[in-house]
């Protein structure tokens, strides 16, 4: 089930670095597209805030104090199964990113990304897609090669391959004759496939 997007999307930020947390808060507090319900330095702080019950999407730091990204993802989804979780980290070659995707996160974005890239990533999730970086695409392709991937189509294998080579969403879309949204939705399908395969 996808949350309604007719009104501002209720989001939260969970990041233990105050500088980064404040910067992200500034990005998403502007305009009327998003409703920033909270900016927290820990999962516990978020869960203890009554307003968090309304959150539909969170930007979640990969490595919070005492808790891995995958552990945090599983904890949140156990309580809020329809929550959208985008992982944020400064290191996009971290193995824990893949484990977080397998746990149910539906996207990843580097902390080095620009404000416009953060907004694009969140908008892609709202539209049914998911963001992916070249390093993560490489990691996913390596994992897929070791797994039974007969249920993935040729297109679903081509898209991360092109992302891994550093092609932009626009270039991938043009080369495959599909829309940018179709590229992002294909990435969401791959994330969902990984999650389902690891939780059989």
Summarised one tens digit per residue, pLDDT across range 9-60 is: 999 999 999 999 999 999 998 888 999 999 999 999 999 999 999 999 999 9
Q: Is residue 4 part of a domain?
A: no
Q: What is the CATH number of the domain that holds 130?
A: 3.40.50.2300
Number of compact structural domains in the chain: 1
Which stretches of 80-179 are DSSP H helices? 95-103, 115-126, 134-146, 154-164, 169-176
Q: Is residue 80 part of a domain?
A: yes
Q: Is residue 105 part of a domain?
A: yes
Q: Is residue 102 part of a domain?
A: yes
Q: Is residue 3 part of a domain?
A: no
Q: Is residue 151 part of a domain?
A: yes
- Give the mean model confidence (pLDDT) for residues 100-121: 90
Interatomic CA distance for residues 134 and 164, integer angstroms: 4
Summarised one tens digit per residue, pLDDT across range 68-80 is: 888 999 999 999 9
Output the pLDDT for position 87. 92
Using the predicted structure, report yes or no on whether residue 192 has a pLDDT greater than 80.
yes
What is the three-class DSSP state of 84? strand
Q: Is residue 130 part of a domain?
A: yes
Q: Which domain holds residue 182?
A: 9-198
Q: Is residue 81 part of a domain?
A: yes
């Amino acid at each position: 089930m996808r949350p309604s997007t007719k009104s501002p999307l209720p989001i939260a930020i969970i990041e233990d670095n105050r500088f980064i947390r404040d910067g992200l808060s500034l990005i998403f507090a502007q305009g009327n597209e998003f409703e920033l319900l909270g900016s927290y330095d820990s999962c516990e702080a978020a869960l203890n805030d009554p307003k968090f019950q309304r959150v539909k999407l969170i930007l979640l730091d990969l490595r919070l104090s005492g808790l891995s990204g995958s552990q945090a993802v599983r904890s949140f989804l156990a309580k809020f199964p329809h929550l959208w979780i985008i992982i944020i980290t400064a290191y996009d070659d971290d193995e824990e990113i893949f484990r977080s995707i397998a746990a149910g996160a539906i996207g990843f974005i580097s902390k080095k990304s620009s404000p416009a890239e953060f907004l694009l990533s969140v908008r892609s999730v709202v539209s049914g897609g998911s963001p992916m970086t070249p390093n993560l695409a490489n990691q996913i392709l390596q994992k897929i090669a070791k797994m039974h991937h007969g249920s993935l189509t040729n297109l679903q294998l081509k898209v991360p391959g092109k992302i891994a080579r550093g092609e932009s969403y626009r270039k991938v879309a043009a080369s495959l004759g599909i829309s940018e949204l179709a590229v992002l939705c294909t990435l969401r399908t791959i994330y969902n496939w990984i999650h389902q395969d690891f939780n059989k």
